[in-house]
Structure 1
Amino acid sequence: MSSDPRHDHVTLAWTGASGMPYGLRLLQVLLEKGMGVHLLISDAARVVLGTETDLGLPGRNPEAERFLSDRFAAGDGQLKLLGNTQWTAACASGSGAARRMVVCPCTTGTLGGIAAGTSNNLIERSADVVLKERGRLILVPREMPYSTLHLENMLTLSRMGAVIMPPCPGFYNQPQSVDDLVDFVVARILDHLDVPNDLQPRWGHARHTHKD
C-alpha cells in the first residue's frame, strides 16, 4: 500500500435496501485485492443482512469487525468497521477520507440524503466528503420502480459526478447461478473503482456459444 491511505482505501457503506449479497461480495473481493476498507453499516442494513443471508453478524462493531476480518481473511488492520455517528473517523474529513466510496446496496432514503447534502449520519457525510473532494462516488440503488423524486435525486447526483449504478446483471454470459449474477454487478463496480478483476468474461473477449 502507498504512504497515503486515501489512495489505497475504499469506503464501503451498506444501507437497508435489498441486495446485501452484492455488498458482501464486494467487501470480499476488495479485501482479497489487498485494499483497505472502511465499512459503514446502517441499523437497517443489519436487519436486511439477517434477512437475506445466513451471516450471524455480531451486534457490537468491534466483534463484527473481527468476524468479517476472519471470514474474509483480511490482514491486520485492513478492515475497519465504523459506527454511523463516529464523526472522528477519517472518512468524515476531506484530509483523511478515501478518494473512492461505494454505497451498496443504497436505499433511496440514503440517496436523497446525499443529494440534499444533509450529512445526518456518517454514511451521508462520507459521501458528501467524496463529492466535495472530487473523488469517485458510486451508488447502487436497489428499488423498483423508481419514483420521479428518486430519478430527480439520481440526476442531481450524476450532475455532481457520482456514478449511479443500479444492480442490473447482464445475461449474455449465460449465468448459471445467483453467484454469477452477483459477480456481474460486483465486477462492474470494481471496474469503476479501477480495481482489476476477472470475475466475469468481458464482452467481446469471451467465447460465446449462442447460435445465430
Structure 2
Amino acid sequence: MNNKQITLAITGASGAPYALCLLEQLVKKQFTIHLLISSAAKVVLATEANQQWPSQNDKAQLFLENKFGAQPGQILVPGKNDWFSPVASGSAAPKTMVICPCSMGTLASVAMGLSDNLLERAADVVIKEKGKLILVPREMPFSAIHLENMLKLAKLGVDILPACPGFYHKPESIQDLVEHVTARILDHIGIENDLVERWGYSGESKTGA
C-alpha cells in the first residue's frame, strides 16, 4: 500500500478556499487523497469559490484530477455510503485525516462517534486506530456546546486547528491568509512546505512581545 495516503474531508462550514489550497498542496506533494465531500460542502464551494463539482463520484474524480493536475487515481472520491472504501476500515484506512473546513455538526457527530456516513466513520476509524486526525473548525462565536465537543476530542488526541490565520508574515492578500492556515495544517501532518515565511526568519530584528 502506498504510504503517502491521506483522507481529506470537506464539510459545509464556510472556508472553501482552505480546502482547495490544502488539496492543491497534497496533490503537489504526491499524496494519494481519499476525498470525502458532504452535500453542504458542494453548496459552499459553489457559493465561496464559484465552483460546481459534479455530483456523480466518478465524474467528480475525473474533474478534480484535471483541475489539480493529479495523476489518474491520485484523488479518490467515494460516496457517503460507500462502506467498501478503504477509509471505512481500520485495516486499510490512511493513518492521517483532515476535516477542512469542519462544520460544528460534523464535529459533534465525530465527538459522539455516530458514524452515520462514510465521513464520520472515517474519522472514527482514525481515532480508534490512534492515527492523526486534524479538525479545522470555521465558526464564530463558538458556543459552550462547540467548545465542549472540541475539548472532548482534544482529550482523545485530536488536533483542533481553527482557521485563524496570523499576520506576522504581513499578508497582502486573502490568499496569503489562506496559505498561512494551510501551512499550519501541513506542519501538523508533518509535510514540509514553504507557503509562508516562518516567524523569525525574515532577516529582520524582532523586538517586543
Q: TM-score category by the smaller chain?
A: over 0.9
Flag structure 1 segments of 5+ consecutive residues without an equivalent: none
Q: Does 1:11 align with 2:13?
A: no
Is 1:44 the equivalent of 2:43? Answer: no
* Structure 2 counterpart of 1:103, from 99, 102, 109: 99
Provide, for residues 49-74 of structure 1, a one-character-per-residue CA deviation record: whole Å limited to 9, x for no partner: 11001222122111111111111110
Displacement of 1:8 = 1.0
C-alpha separation between the residues in 2 aligned to 1:31 and 1:208? 33
Provide the secondary structure at the position in 2 that maps to 1:174.
coil
What is the aligned counterpart of 1:184 among 180, 183, 186? Answer: 180
Q: Percent identity?
A: 52
Moved more, 84-93 or 55-64: 55-64
Aligned to 1:77: 73
Normalised TM-score (structure 1): 0.95
For residues 46 and 203 of structure 1, the distance between their equivalents in structure 2, rounded to whole angstroms, comes to 35
What is the alpha-carbon distance in structure 2 between the residues aligned to residue 167 and residue 195 of structure 1? 18
Secondary structure of the corresponding residue to residue 82 of structure 1: coil
Residues 1:211 and 1:152: Cα distance change in structure 2 (over 3 Å) = closer
After superposition, the C-alpha distances for 1:174-206 in whole angstroms (9 at most, x for unaligned) are: 101011000000000001111111101111122
Distance in 2, matches of 1:187 and 1:155, equals 23
Q: Tell me how far apart the structure 2 counterparts of residues 94 and 107 of structure 1 sit (CA, whole Å).
A: 24
Q: Can you give the 5+ residue segments of structure 2 that lack an aligned partner in the other structure?
A: none
Using the TM superposition, give the Cα deviation of residue 207 of structure 1 relative to its aligned residue in structure 2, in angstroms: 3.0
- Match of residue 175 from structure 1: 171
Structure 1 contact 22–185 (Cα < 8 Å) conserved: yes
Query: Which string of whole-angstrom CA distances, capped at 9 and with x for unpartnered residues, describes residues 122-155 of structure 1?
Result: 1110000000101000000111000001000000
SS in 1 for 2:126: helix
Distance 1:64 1:74 in 2: 13
How many equivalent pairs are there? Answer: 208
Asked if 1:156 is matched to 2:152, the reply is yes
Cα root mean square deviation, aligned: 1.3
Establish whether residue 193 from structure 1 lines up as the match of residue 204 from structure 2. Answer: no
- 3-state SS in 1 of match to 2:77: strand
Assess, with a 3 A threshold, how the Cα gap between structure 1 residues 35 and 65 changes in structure 2: closer, same or farther: same
Question: Given the alignment, which residue of 34, 38, 53 partners 2:49?
Answer: 53
CA distance in 2, matches of 1:211, 1:119: 49
Amino acid in the other structure paired with 1:56: Q
Residue 135 of structure 1, aligned match among 131, 138, 153: 131
- How far, CA to CA, are the matches of 2:111 and 2:119 in structure 1? 12
Partners of 1:47 and 1:118 in 2: CA distance:
23
